[in-house]
Amino acid sequence: MKYKLMNFAQLSLDLIEAQYALKNSRNEKNSKSILILIGGIELTNKGKSIKKLTELMDPRYLKIRADIPNKISPEKIIWQPYVNNIPKKGEIIIFYGNWYTDLLASTLYGDQKISESEFQKHLNSIHKFEEYLNNHDIDIVKVWFDVSWEKVKGRLSHFDLSKTVQRVPNFSWDNFPMDNWKNKTLYNDIQNVKDRFIDDWHIIDSEVNKERNFQFAQLVLDHLSITPKSIKSRLRYKPAPIHPALTQIQSDTIDQTQYVKAIKKLQHKVAEALRYSSKNVVLVFEGMDAAGKGSSIRRVIKYLDPHEYNIHGISAPEHFEQLHPYLWRFWTKHSNNGAINIFDRSWYGRVLVERVENLISPAEWQNSYEEINQYEKQLSQSNTIVIKFWLAISKDEQLKRFEKRLNTPQKHFKITEEDWRNREKWDKYLQAASDMLKYTDTPTAAWHIIANDNKLVARMQILESILKRLKA
């Protein structure tokens, strides 16, 4: 869509009013944020359009990220480097460099050729990610600044090429002849790759500077004026039958001496398997209160060095986390450097405590099943093994453990009023857990149900499951 030129003073007034309305709505139910992705030919002067936008708006509340492209790799999710800067409610952020920049640069000038299937895999990952952001009130505006080859040639005569391309990373240009800027090769290469993902972008003709700046600013104003859509369930939800493993709890016995010898041997094997795994490893521990999540984690890390793992104890989100999409606080905790990430409670709180406590609408927790599945699938496609545990104990066993905590000075901190309230909702948690197991038990991230009132046996079963999964 091409907008009719108007007075820039009026456009500035409209932009600032809309900008402050967005900023002031951040704590309201219908608030949103705006993420602007910039792409285009280098000589379109797109940077000048961004600069003009900062003059038309209040620059204090317009954030700009100008990152050089990252080398994409099959070992990390293509959008992962950018998650820390995803806008929170009420914010506008421009990504001058973004996941499309990475895809384009790596396709054209990466160390290894990217096949069509790999390109499509990355593009699908991007689309799923953007779909999630859109569904959580982040309005994504994708803007491609385009210009004819004739105009490029004219501008080239006035440019120092070494300065023109200095914002592009060295890896993209190490073996790239500068003369390609002087013929149509680079222009055509970029246009050909762009055509593979451009369908949902806004194309801005950059032949005339004033018109280019106006078109860009007006586009931003239009998106500032869009009201977020109400959330609707995308799942035909049907309650699952209570999973039999959640109620048929075993109570095995094991000799203490036998246990000490067996678990020590298992712990050494698990430590070695985790340490030398060629993949990133994510361990997720969920379960009823006092089911033994913390003590099981301690057994897993017994023979690991502290720098080899990260333990994330998950509780209610902080206010600043609530201003982001729900999964954001988990995206920021993942690493791709070989570290083992262990979650004592996790993103599944969305379909457990937040559901049971009515903190979110049914549409929100029902949609979360597929959103979580997509995230775990992308992790698994990026050299990561996701191993999930649900620790089940009987209601009588939970009561015994609660009372023991009350009577043990070193464990007083482990029992709270919230634990007793949760216990009163035992049946609701059983239903929520059964639904979770039904909708999120996938081939790439299967659930391991550990249902045993004997915590010694349960610990061994957990270690055996980890070892088996890592060897698979």
Q: Are 211 and 263 part of one and the same domain? A: no
Q: Are 248 and 214 part of one and the same domain? A: no
Q: Are 395 and 458 part of one and the same domain? A: yes
Q: Are 141 and 20 part of one and the same domain? A: yes
Q: What is the pLDDT of residue 42?
A: 78
Does residue 388 sit within a domain? yes
| Total number of domains constituting the chain | 2
* pLDDT above 50 for 143: yes
Stretch 371-392: mean pLDDT: 96
The confidence band for 361, taking pLDDT boundaries of 50, 70 and 90, is very high
* pLDDT above 80 for 161: no
The CATH number of residue 121's host domain is 3.40.50.300
Q: Are 207 and 331 part of one and the same domain? A: no
Q: What is the pLDDT of residues 82-108, one digit of tens each?
A: 999 999 999 999 999 999 999 999 998
259-280 burial, b if ≥16 CB within 10 A, otherwise e? beebbeebbebbbebbeeeeeb
Contacts of residue 133, defined as CB under 8 A and 6 or more positions apart, other chains included, come to 35, 86, 140, 325
Stretch 12-31: mean pLDDT: 95
Task: Put the strands of the sheet holding 92-95 in their side by side order.
Answer: 63-65, 92-95, 33-40, 138-146, 202-205
Residue, of 433 and 68, whose pLDDT is higher: 433
Q: Are 388 and 344 part of one and the same domain? A: yes
The confidence band for 178, taking pLDDT boundaries of 50, 70 and 90, is low
Q: Are 330 and 216 part of one and the same domain? A: no
The confidence band for 229, taking pLDDT boundaries of 50, 70 and 90, is confident
Residue type for position 299: R
* pLDDT above 90 for 410: no
Does residue 205 sit within a domain? yes
Q: Are 294 and 378 part of one and the same domain? A: yes
Q: Which domain holds residue 60?
A: 8-224
Tokens of 312: 């994330």
Report helix, strand or coil for 447: strand
Q: Are 220 and 262 part of one and the same domain? A: no
Does residue 229 sit within a domain? no
Q: Are 210 and 273 part of one and the same domain? A: no
Q: Are 78 and 168 part of one and the same domain? A: yes
What mean pLDDT value characterizes the chain?
Answer: 92
Q: What is the pLDDT of residue 111?
A: 79
Q: What is the pLDDT of residue 171?
A: 44
Tokens of 39: 């792409």
Contacts 24+ apart (CB under 8 A), 357-361: 361/231
Does residue 139 sit within a domain? yes
Does residue 237 sit within a domain? no
Q: Are 329 and 184 part of one and the same domain? A: no
Q: Which phi and psi (to 5°) does residue 446 adopt?
A: -80, 155
* pLDDT above 70 for 313: yes
Q: Which phi and psi (to 5°) does residue 274 adopt?
A: -70, -45
Of 192, 224, 256, the residue that ends a domain is: 224
Does residue 254 sit within a domain? yes
Does residue 239 sit within a domain? no
- Closest to 290 in 3D by CA, of 425, 466, 463, 453: 453
Q: Residues for the chain: how many in total?
A: 472
- Closest to 363 in 3D by CA, of 374, 375, 350: 350
Stretch 333-362: mean pLDDT: 93
Report helix, strand or coil for 396: helix
Percent of the chain with pLDDT over 70: 93
* pLDDT above 50 for 431: yes
Stretch 233-257: mean pLDDT: 95
Does residue 87 sit within a domain? yes
Q: What is the pLDDT of residue 351?
A: 98
Of 224, 255, 275, the residue that ends a domain is: 224
